Amino acid sequence: MSVPAFTVVIPARLASTRLPNKPLADIGGHPMIVRVAERARASSAQRTVVATDAPEVAAACAAHGVEAVLTRADHPSGTDRLAEVAARLGLPDDAIVVNVQGDEPLIEPTLIDEVALHLASHPDCAMATAAHPLAEAADVFNPNVVKVVCDQAGRALYFSRAPIPWARDAWAGVPAAPAASAQVALPAMPVLRHVGIYAYRAGFLRRFPTLAISPVELVEALEQLRAMWHGERIGVMVTAAAPAPGVDTPADLERVRALWAEGMAQDGP
């Protein structure tokens, strides 16, 4: 099956407690949001649009020839922001929209294509996302690393910040949050880390903001659980390796800047 037609929408907000003005952070001479859009444009997307509530971000996009849409400032989540953009673009219900996070300047264009294709090839799912096996126990027990468990058809059963699945026998007596240095054996089956990229059908995306926020979504602080709470299926594409790092903190930004410079040097003469 070939990659279907799809639109990439990149949500970007200036407000960030750990890294203020994150979308405008410089990476190799361009704002980070522009670098993300460049990666999205290198995919098979028919259209790439930045969704932002900040005129400064929209202006930075315009200065570099990137399409941007100014949205309302009161959206509770990035998915709600995407829903406004999908409606304003007039996308038909069966159109595929891929949500690429605005802090992923090193994202592989092929990953974007693959998530869109995964949704297209799973008509029973309203959404698709990605995951990869974890290799370190410290990541399994890290609440900032979201895990997912799937059924035999590759559909998500649950997402959690807790270690799932819990290896009852292998982890007997292990505390729920051991120190990062704890020597804990991984279970026989892979523990999958959720990768924060989503593909949606536009019809569901527009319906998402009308769904009541679920109790489990509030407890875990994971908005994808709202869809599952209301009976929607999420297809999970499992990749062999972890994607390139995103940017959440100043340390992340310096690491990505170094990786960007290294990549540019390798691609140069």
Indicate the pTM of the whole model: 0.91
* pLDDT of residue 138 exceeding 50: yes
13-17, 213-217, 246-250: least confidently modelled range: 13-17
pLDDT for 182: 59
Structure tokens at 247: 């940017």
- What average pLDDT is seen over the chain? 90
pLDDT for 185: 75
**What's phi and psi for 237, nearest 5 deg?**
-90, 120
Predicted confidence (pLDDT) per residue in 41-76, tens digit: 999 999 999 999 999 999 999 999 999 999 988 887
Considering the chain, what percentage of its residues have pLDDT values greater than 70?
94
Distance CA 148, CA 127 (A): 14
CATH H-level, domain 6-173+184-242: superfamily: Spore Coat Polysaccharide Biosynthesis Protein SpsA; Chain A (3.90.550.10)
pLDDT for 176: 61
Structure tokens at 258: 């170094």
* pLDDT of residue 129 exceeding 70: yes
- pLDDT grade, residue 265 (50/70/90)? low
* pLDDT of residue 153 exceeding 90: yes
Q: Work out the average pLDDT over 106-130.
A: 96
- pLDDT grade, residue 178 (50/70/90)? low
Predicted confidence (pLDDT) per residue in 85-115, tens digit: 999 999 999 999 999 999 999 999 999 999 9
pLDDT for 266: 58
Q: Which of 17, 37, 76, 23 lies closest to 210, judged by CA?
A: 76
- The three-state DSSP-derived secondary structure of the chain is CCCCCEEEEEEECCCCCCCCCHHHCEECCEEHHHHHHHHHHCCCCCEEEEEECCHHHHHHHHHCCCCEEECCCCCCCHHHHHHHHHHHHCCCCCCEEEECCCCCCCCCHHHHHHHHHHHHCCCCCCEEEEEEECCCHHHHCCCCCCEEEECCCCEEEEEECCCCCCCCCCCCCCCCCCCCCCCCCCCCCCCEEEEEEEEEEHHHHHHHHHCCCCHHHHHHCCCHHHHHHCCCCEEEEECCCCCCCCCCCHHHHHHHHHHHHHHHHHHCC
